[in-house]
Amino acid sequence: MRLFIACPVPEEIKNKIADLESEFRVSNADVKWVRPESIHLTLKFLGEVDEDKISEINNKISKAIEGFSVFRAVVEKIGVFPDWKRIRVVWVGIEDGQKELNELSKSVEDKMASIGFKKEKRGFTAHITIGRVRSGRSIDRLIDMVRKKSDISLGAIQISEVLLMQSILRPEGASYKCLERFNLDRKEL
């Protein structure tokens, strides 16, 4: 099974991202835009995992979120990975709430490492991937459009749970299935 750990994104924000993607499609750039129902905020990609390891993963996620209370994150700004000269990913960022997401990601990363998953070499950057560039076709036009929208604000989300997700690869693109939900502490709300 291909698994990852993520936080869900509410429908209101997904719809705003879908509208943004529609605007960017006009560029005619060769980009695989993320379908609204597939939008999420990844904390840790696990890759291919044997099904018999799921209960151990669930146990470690439960431990990783201990001490974390529900918090607010603001979805704003648009950027690209790795840089403007070699765009591979278009994303919307997280501003307020970045510190908490970094801490949550680190806790998840540490717990997953304790059961054999490799730690990421790159530092965690809280973001929501909205598109993956497949070729350089019309890329300059897309860059211009993205830069003009770079200061956009799409609203706030409440980070209240962490999900263990399965990624099912299909010819039309990946679909995702939630295997388990883990609620953050609500005592401070």
Q: Is residue 160 part of a domain?
A: yes
Q: Is residue 109 part of a domain?
A: yes
pLDDT tens by residue, 26-71 = 999 999 999 999 999 999 999 999 999 999 999 999 999 999 999 9
The predicted pLDDT at position 188 comes to 46
Q: Is residue 104 part of a domain?
A: yes
Q: Is residue 188 part of a domain?
A: no
| Residues whose CB falls within 8 Å of the CB of residue 162, separated by 6 or more in sequence, listed in order | 5, 6, 7, 43, 61, 64, 65, 104, 108, 181, 182, 184
- 73-91 as b/e, with b when 16 or more CB fall inside 10 Å? bbbbbbbbbeeeeebeebb
Amino acid identity, position 57: I
Q: What 8-state DSSP symbol labels residue 123? A: P
Q: Is residue 81 part of a domain?
A: yes
pLDDT tens by residue, 84-114 = 999 999 999 998 999 999 999 999 999 999 9
Choice among 14, 40, 44, 60 that is catalytic:
40
Q: Is residue 71 part of a domain?
A: yes
Report field, pTM of the whole predicted structure over 0.85: yes
Spatial distance between the Cα atoms of 1 and 51, rounded to a whole number of angstroms:
7
User: In terms of residue numbers, what domain contains 43?
Assistant: 2-183
Choice among 14, 44, 111, 127 that is catalytic:
127
What is the total count of domains within the chain? 1
Among 97, 96, 99, 123, residue whose Cα is nearest residue 109? 123
Residue 138: which CATH number? 3.90.1140.10
Is 40 part of the annotated catalytic residue set?
yes
Q: Is residue 189 part of a domain?
A: no
Is 126 part of the annotated catalytic residue set?
no
- Residue pair 143/27 in contact (Cβ under 8 Å)? The answer is no
Q: Is residue 22 part of a domain?
A: yes
Local structure of 2: helix, strand or coil: strand
